[in-house]
Structure 1
């Protein structure tokens, strides 16, 4: 048995990929804190997780033992589960959190520490300055802006929340009228930033003009065993393997001790050279797209962790995909 705890909406893709690869005799369990039958309903058994985190740990262990679960994958807040690894191991359970220790999460969740560590070991990374005050914000902007466009994002965050590009000459109201464009004039942002004295730390960095590569991968104790790179090209996504971007992503995942189904993001500079953006020690929202390449990453993860033959891999080149919304009937 294998259990996939609450994750992003792509938890559904993870479950389906695992079921496809596993023998019919192996059951897949899934759970979520919310009523999400469109996700958990595709598993053999599904549960609603307790809201209280401390109660949740004990409940997961007890339920796992009651259903002969061998492997538990944390789909989100892996660091919180990592802190309880000893409890899972004492119960004979294999816990997969995204990292091999709390050090992984300490380094990758704090983007300032992540950037400093990547630079220390020679992994190409976008330089960044941490700011907490309006004065620090202006000083950092002045340091980077002579060389080109500048951007800002939270030190800790997901889903691109809080990311903005400083674009001179745009309508100051654009950030309100078209927030998805993520463009704002620096002086407008600075005035708003300065309006409240206490701010969470933010990172200022150059904005690289090249495309991003999002690399989904399966890792085992700091070793990458399977991967697929994705790029957004207009409204489509394309795929790649054994490219400079995927090579860099693999090196980063292995250095930071990733373990499980994780995602590493890079961005190219004007010359096409990749630089690290971040490591997400969890599966990405778009991991389901990678199935179209002939590589079943969730299936590879599940079979290897359970000691079963992994699914065949036959890379299909030249694939393009486009996400569409599909209605799914769910039980009331």
Structure 2
């Protein structure tokens, strides 16, 4: 009998993970459900059944998730949107017979969702501080504090950048530069993440308070994502993925970063698939963030010969019985091409569900 698996409001690249789970080496059959508030989300076309989500958050969204699982007899739920809230209520899903691919430690999830809390978490553990540094940073919520943080970091010789304390990927990230781009720079590069201090300060002054911003030193070295697979305190694999120029990614046997992943696993014991992001400065790795979920670029790391999305699902289904140490293939360099995909129309099957989605 096919197992029903649901992905909610994911990155476009989850389409790769869906295929990896569907075409697994064990021959286990899955029926894939997908939802998004955007009816043209590309990954919905990779699902067996696709539905439009309501544009709600918090408790309302939690109730939508529980009802969706009930209506469709979902066996496995792989959440991205509101995954911290879902972790807090994982028992309610388990009571419905739904296994959820999320770290069940809701307090840890909450800390890792907040970049300042993540840095404090690392700083509390002397073992981790030996293997990864924390960038110099300040957290601010008003324009004058932003100004003070900027000059404090400048006085230490840093180029300064900022980003939201809670946010995903590069959303809201800006590098502060001392001058506007030259004509040459304007014509020879794409969209810039740079902004002058005066421009940023004038924008932030428009509100007496704003959501917390992290103002920190800009790290100008090589960036790595370390995709990890763990369960019950054991790290089965860690794959450092170097971000090269443009779209180039390289799977690198970087023992320094593999050891770092082992130490983070030893202290935090994050289950299933998770991702550690670091960037080098002056030859030393500094932490950007830890994401307790599948990363958007996980499919690159799977070129190491390991189907990490399916193995995570297998751990969820089988627990300790599925634990095994895996040897990845390193030295693989890759890029990608765009591919056209004909979009599938959203399907709504029941009047009960249509009534809920129209709320």
TM-score, normalized by the shorter chain, greater than 0.5: yes
Shift of residue 228 of structure 1?
Answer: 1.8
Is the counterpart of residue 259 in structure 1 residue 271 in structure 2? Answer: yes
Pick the aligned partner of 2:110 from 84, 90, 106.
106
- 2:225 and 2:278 in contact (8 A); partners too: yes
Shift of residue 128 of structure 1?
Answer: 1.5
1:119-268 alignment runs, 5 A limit = 119-122=123-126, 123=128, 124-146=133-155, 147-171=157-181, 180-221=191-232, 223-235=234-246, 236-252=248-264, 255-268=267-280
Measured in 2, the distance between the counterparts of 1:237 and 1:125 equals: 24
Deviations 1:281-308 (A, max 9, x none): 2212111112222122112212232238
Cα distance change, pair 145–292 in 1 and its aligned pair in 2 (3 A): same
Cα distance change, pair 234–290 in 1 and its aligned pair in 2 (3 A): same
Deviations 1:220-253 (A, max 9, x none): 2554323322111113111124522233244335
- 1:299 and 1:311 in contact (8 A); partners too: no
- Count of aligned pairs: 326
Cα distance change, pair 179–5 in 1 and its aligned pair in 2 (3 A): same
Cα distance change, pair 314–117 in 1 and its aligned pair in 2 (3 A): closer
Gaps of at least 5 residues in structure 1 are none
- 2:239 and 2:328 in contact (8 A); partners too: no
Pick the aligned partner of 1:289 from 300, 304, 314.
300
Cα distance change, pair 38–207 in 1 and its aligned pair in 2 (3 A): closer
Cα distance change, pair 176–133 in 1 and its aligned pair in 2 (3 A): farther
Cα distance change, pair 175–8 in 1 and its aligned pair in 2 (3 A): farther
Gaps of at least 5 residues in structure 2 are 346-359
Pick the aligned partner of 1:320 from 305, 308, 333.
333
Partner of 1:14: 17
Measured in 2, the distance between the counterparts of 1:278 and 1:312 equals: 25
Deviations 1:86-137 (A, max 9, x none): 112223332222x232211221111111112211213322232111122211
- 1:249 and 1:276 in contact (8 A); partners too: no
Across the aligned residues of Structure 1 and Structure 2, the Cα RMSD in angstroms comes to 3.0
- 1:214 and 1:264 in contact (8 A); partners too: yes
Shift of residue 312 of structure 1?
Answer: 10
The farther-off stretch of 228-237 and 165-174 is: 165-174
Deviations 1:147-186 (A, max 9, x none): 2211111111112111111222334999999783212222
The farther-off stretch of 217-226 and 303-312 is: 303-312
- 1:100 and 1:222 in contact (8 A); partners too: no
Partner of 2:350: none
Three-state SS of the structure 1 residue aligned to 2:154 is helix
Measured in 1, the distance between the counterparts of 2:163 and 2:277 equals: 15
- 2:175 and 2:193 in contact (8 A); partners too: yes
Partner of 2:94: 89
State TM-score, norm by structure 2. 0.80
